[in-house]
Amino acid sequence: MTHSTPAADGPVRPDGSSYPSARTEEEWRVELNPEEYRVLRAAGTEAPFTGRYTDHHGVGTYRCRACQAELFRSDAKFDSHCGWPSFFTPLAGDSIVLLDDSSLGMVRTEVRCRSCGSHLGHVFAGEGYPTPTDERYCINSVCLTFEPSVQE
Ligand SMILES: [Zn+2]
């Protein structure tokens, strides 16, 4: 087996450039709580239907929990009923990076933050959701921080 596990790939993007907001794993352990660290840095997955943003419908921007980079907007969020927050497109193509993930015996596409390299979730295509892209960015709530566009 030559497949590397996500999050152990090293501190560079697939194109060889570095993540500007990268930290050492020791620094991440200080900055993140254990559950955040397990998902963001060890490519874990939160239990379905437990995340705070799964059925969240506020208007605003979702940022990376680790580095605060803007990742997704609420107007691209849709109800997939899959148990995790789902978006049909990222905020911009350059807010995330996509990596082949062969863990668990499946070929999936992993989604990571383009600024810090942290694991966010996976993207699936062609599932038939009535969205403009027919893609589902399936993102762990624990990887996100929601910022309302209007302060209440
Ligand atoms: Zn980040």
Residue 149 pLDDT: 93
Residue 3 pLDDT: 42
Instruction: Quote the tokens at residue 140.
Output: 């762990």
Quote the ligand 1 centre to 138 CA distance (angstroms).
16
Residue linked to tokens 């990076």: 97
Question: What pTM, to 2 d.p., does this model score?
Answer: 0.90
Higher pLDDT, 148 or 103: 148
Residue 98, judged by CB atoms within 10 A of its CB (0-12, 13-18, 19+), counts as middle
H-helix or E-strand spanning residue 28: helix 25-31
Residues designated catalytic? 138
The CATH architecture one would assign to domain 25-148 is Beta Complex (2.170)
Residue 151 pLDDT: 62
Quote the ligand 1 centre to 143 CA distance (angstroms).
9
Quote the ligand 1 centre to 124 CA distance (angstroms).
21
Q: Domain segments of the chain: what residues? A: 25-148
The pLDDT tens digits of the residues spanning 8-35 come to 456 789 899 999 999 999 999 999 999 9
Residue 152 pLDDT: 54
